[in-house]
Structure 1
Amino acid sequence: MLDRRKFIKNTGLFLGYSMLPFSPLYATSDQKPLGVCLVALGSYSTGVLAPALQLTKHCKLTGIVTGSPHKIPIWQKKYGIKDSNVYSYNNMDQIANNADIDVIYIVLPTGLHAQYAIKAAETGKHVWCEKPMAKTAVECQSIIDACAKNKVKLSIGYRMQHEPNTQTVIGFATSKPYGQIKTVRAEIGYNVSNPDRTWRLNSELGGGTMYDLGVYALNAARYTTGEEPVSVIAKQMTTRPEIFTETDETTHFTLEFPSGAVAHGKTSVGKSMHELYVDCENGWYTLAPFSMYSGVTGKTSDDKLLNTYVENQQARQMDDDALAIINNTSVLVPGIEGMKDIKIVEAIYQAAKSGKKIKLK
């Protein structure tokens, strides 16, 4: 729903391209970088992933899949992509025979993720799929099953779980340095005055603010508590019904967890907000902003700063995922993680529509 070009500009992604050396948190490998093929050349591939792949150590851009022939010469000139590594949606099954490509990265609209992630898995190449994983939990499961059947790794593009300050907060869920977590507040939104009438306004293609942005807040509530919610209530609203005819402009949701912790989530393209705040028995901690491309910063109630800088979040994410393939280890964000969010997203829409609390299994 949010125009990614505006998102990239607003979050200052390109400020990070004057790079410092990569973090020592990275593992090392002597194996040659894995070849990555991007499926769909929209604004996220063009403005974020392709530039990030110029910064990675363990993977590199070697192929593209596109339905827009006019983009092909531009990408070939900029990134040196060979004719034999250019595919359409109709012939991407032929990637199976291409030794230059090890990973297929699905960057299509959410409603198309399952169809093309399954096609990718059937080539025998490893699959990276952008978040949100798919439109429904059933589709998520179909992707997981296809990757398992073809014995390839599947990773979901949750860049925040690779980010060091976020990893610190994830660790707090177990170590509980400020005591038991009582409440979590996770809010993400941007005041978009004129939303482009793209797929993000199309329900069939998986548009909607809860899918596009709200999944960040939802995922944050889960990794912050380290628990899975047992119930949800929600409401959705719009101040521009002439634009948001099929999808939500603003969504509020409240999750209850087994420990008694409660998370209040909010997402909108009608209001700017960007904070994760965790209140505990003996203190608090916050990340604000908690998912900006240009950096994540925060602090704690005892004046500890959470401000470790990572040079490029997408490069770190893709290098981590590449190393999991190279070293045959578990990926940081597997398909089951993506599916858990989508099950809850579906329940949020159900709760908003019914006005009732929905129990989660």
Structure 2
Amino acid sequence: MVNYRYLGNSGFKVSEITYGNWITHASQVENDAAIATVRKALDLGITSFDTADVYANTAAESVLAEALKGQRRESLEIFTKVYFPTGPKGANDTGLSRKHIMDSINGSLRRLDTDYVDLYQAHRFDYETPLEETFQAFADIVRQGKALYIGVSEWTAEQLREGHALAKELRIQLVSNQPQYSALWRVIEGKVVPTSEELGISQIVWSPMAQGVLSGKYLPGQPVPAGSRATDEKSGADFIAKFLDDDVLTAVQKLVPIAQEAGLTMPQLAIAWVLQNKNVAAALVGASRPQQLEDTVKASGITLDADTLAAIDAALSPVAVTDPEETYRMSPPSRIQ
């Protein structure tokens, strides 16, 4: 079964393997397969589920609701996000203005068929809206009982510090940040993680397998596998492109004997690696079929010894991205419409 971790400096626990439906539900796989995969996640002990209104232009939230139908709501942790445009993409259909946040939470609750979400997250930082306006809207949503906790996604250390101060002033809890993090993409380690540890904010990390590259299935000098994420624009092909370099793929192949020595599969090694970071509360995993989850959930509770961690670093350090400045490029300078 899956272990639990506290989210930030709170009493709220989430499953350290959390199911994310970014590029699967209502996009990569048919609804019946998506529902079967969510139900497999529940059978395996995953109770935390992450989505966003923008995923499949709101359809992913509806599919998740259908998959969770009949489950005891109190036994689930449901996360969603707000920022990116949905629907007709009008002037106020994006960003973190009070209007967009209030419209979005009501839409998400309706699609998710629930009275509240456990965690409501700012999907990016909005440079066009005063942060005070954003956090006042979040505070009102919490007081209305529509969200229990507030989180953000891909915020810089400075943005986290400013948001945390406002949350404290408004007496709500900013408990999490959701950044990309893997053994190949380590940009949060320099500034975001130390600041988060100081403030009592956890990371819920996405792409712990570097868009599947750390599974080892992409081979240097070889065409990408047919039907893989790298061939499907709807499945994040643009996100994986930065890792499809022969030097990177050659380095990843060096992990194969390391995983074997540890008695792990390559996906298990990748997910266990991010969970060694104590500031990480959960690793987001997706799946296009139930069997994939049976492998990845076994990463929960694994402790990698010092020799294994050193071997991973030695294999990947020449190609891993570690520059903290990358965190400043994650939020668009103006609202996306």
TM-score scaled to structure 1, two decimals?
0.38
TM-score scaled to structure 2, two decimals?
0.40
The structure with the greater share of residues assigned to strand is: 1
Structure showing greater radius of gyration is: 1
The structure with the greater share of residues assigned to helix is: 2
